[in-house]
């Protein structure tokens, strides 16, 4: 319950944030509101501003930038759990933890420390262990920790649903991604059957699930199913940078199956945001998909494209498709190597090399 009247300046910032469109403008207002709340000694408004910051930051703010706000909220909950309830902050914490390995600069020890803290808090507050296992499985899948993926899938099967779980569609999508990471395509397709049949869906599913399956289906020669999932899946993509990884998969499929105009439109729409607002992991995937597309464009006779305007720092400021494809390739491989060094394996670079090998595929 609020302990004091709200400061007029703080009230103005919070109301402006409510009116602002979701994204970077709202994030800036909420960060400012949190600072003002701290300066005037209003922890209730500081709590609310930070929770609102988490909810609007999912695809607008790099996760490491949210760590101070998360630490502040956890400290307030630990101090006054009734006033600052656990569920409010743990729901956002699990998203932040599962997103952490998407940033190459975050060391393994920091990521595992976040996982350990999330686990203890979930169990201490009576939330579902299944909800924690879901997040840990996502982290291990991103990091290519194959033994932990296997044990995580087994543990997930043993846990009952409870408070704090992901929705059923998201859980199945996570299982599919994990199995694909293990190379178990047949099992992945089995786990995806309810999503493919339209019986499970949510905001991100089936677009993300279908995207993950596309390259594997083509490799298995299941072209008809790949075509169907491509058509159904890309139409459900949301226009936000948070789905850039899925879009990259659709972009590769489009480029190598002749839907090159659509792939080019996607590249033009997202090439700038990929440089300025995507996670390291999504940028790596977009660069690999861009290399495939631009190589295919060169095959069609295109000899000039416009590079992202802020890419000179990455060496991408060239306009010849093959030259730009080479720069994108180098960037994708460099990022994948950074992830591998952090993760202690070669899983990510192997996947990116596989993606890049499609540049010269025949239809």
Give residue-wise pLDDT tens across range 321-332: 999 999 999 999
- Alpha carbon distance 84, 301 (integer Å): 61
Encoded tokens for 295: 């190589």
Instruction: Report pLDDT for 305.
Output: 79
Predicted confidence (pLDDT) per residue in 82-125, tens digit: 999 998 899 899 989 999 999 999 999 999 999 999 999 999 99
- Alpha carbon distance 220, 237 (integer Å): 25
Instruction: Report pLDDT for 311.
Output: 53
Half-sphere exposure of 14 (CA within 13 A, CB side): 20
Task: Kindly list the domain boundaries of the chain, sorted by start residue.
Answer: 167-236, 239-363
| Max CA separation in the chain (angstroms) | 68
Contact 163, 127 (CB under 8 A): yes
Residue with tokens 């994948």: 336
SS3 202: coil
- Alpha carbon distance 83, 171 (integer Å): 31
Instruction: Report pLDDT for 284.
Output: 97
Q: What percent of the chain has pLDDT over 70?
A: 94
Backbone dihedral angles phi then psi of residue 289, each to the nearest 5 degrees:
-65, -35
Encoded tokens for 359: 């540049």
Contact 323, 287 (CB under 8 A): no
Query: Would you say the pTM of this structure is higher than 0.85?
Result: yes
* pLDDT tier at 362, thresholds 50, 70, 90: low
DSSP 243: G
- As a whole number, mean pLDDT of residues 204-221 equals 94
Closest CA to 224 of 236, 239, 211, 214: 214
Instruction: Report pLDDT for 246.
Output: 96
- As a whole number, mean pLDDT of residues 217-225 equals 92
Instruction: Report pLDDT for 59.
Output: 58
Instruction: Report pLDDT for 75.
Output: 96
Instruction: Report pLDDT for 183.
Output: 96
Residue with tokens 């944030």: 17
SS3 228: helix
Instruction: Report pLDDT for 21.
Output: 83
- Alpha carbon distance 248, 101 (integer Å): 19
- Chain centroid to Cα 99, Å, comes to 6
* pLDDT greater at residue 289 or residue 361: 289
- The torsion of the CA quartet 303, 289, 345, 156, rounded to 10 degrees, works out to 180
Instruction: Report pLDDT for 165.
Output: 92
Contact 292, 359 (CB under 8 A): yes
Instruction: Report pLDDT for 363.
Output: 53
**Count of beta carbons in the 10 Å neighbourhood of residue 315:** 14
- As a whole number, mean pLDDT of residues 25-32 equals 91
């Amino acid at each position: 319950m609020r302990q004091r009247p709200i400061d007029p300046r703080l009230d103005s910032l919070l109301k402006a944030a409510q009116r602002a469109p979701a994204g970077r403008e709202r994030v800036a207002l909420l960060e400012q509101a949190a600072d003002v709340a701290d300066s005037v000694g209003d922890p209730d408004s500081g709590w609310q501003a930070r929770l609102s910051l988490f909810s609007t930051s999912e695809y607008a703010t790099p996760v490491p930038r949210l760590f101070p706000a998360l630490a502040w909220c956890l400290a307030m909950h630990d101090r006054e759990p009734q006033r600052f309830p656990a569920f409010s902050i743990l729901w956002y914490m699990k998203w932040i933890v599962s997103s952490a390995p998407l940033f190459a600069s975050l060391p393994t020890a920091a990521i595992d420390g976040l996982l350990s803290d999330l686990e203890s808090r979930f169990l201490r507050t009576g939330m579902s262990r299944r909800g924690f296992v879901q997040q840990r499985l996502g982290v291990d899948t991103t990091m290519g920790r194959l033994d932990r993926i296997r044990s995580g899938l087994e543990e997930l099967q043993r846990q009952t649903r409870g408070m704090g779980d992901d929705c059923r569609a998201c859980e199945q999508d996570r299982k599919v991604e994990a199995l694909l990471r293990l190379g178990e395509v047949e099992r992945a397709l089995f786990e995806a059957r309810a999503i493919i049949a339209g019986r499970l869906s949510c905001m991100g599913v089936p677009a993300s699930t279908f995207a993950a399956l596309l390259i594997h289906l083509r490799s298995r020669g299941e072209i008809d199913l790949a075509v169907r999932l491509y058509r159904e899946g890309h139409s459900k993509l949301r226009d936000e940078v948070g789905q850039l990884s899925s879009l990259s998969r659709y972009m590769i499929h489009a480029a190598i199956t002749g839907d090159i105009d659509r792939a080019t439109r996607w590249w033009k729409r997202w090439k700038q945001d990929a440089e300025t607002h995507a996670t390291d992991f999504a940028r790596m995937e977009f660069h690999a998909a861009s290399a495939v597309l631009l190589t295919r464009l060169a095959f069609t006779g295109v000899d000039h494209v416009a590079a992202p305007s802020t890419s000179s720092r990455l060496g991408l400021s060239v306009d010849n498709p093959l030259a730009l494809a080479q720069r994108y390739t180098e960037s994708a491989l460099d990022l994948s190597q950074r992830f591998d060094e952090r993760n202690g394996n070669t899983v990510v670079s192997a996947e990116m090399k596989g993606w890049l090998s499609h540049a010269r595929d025949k239809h």
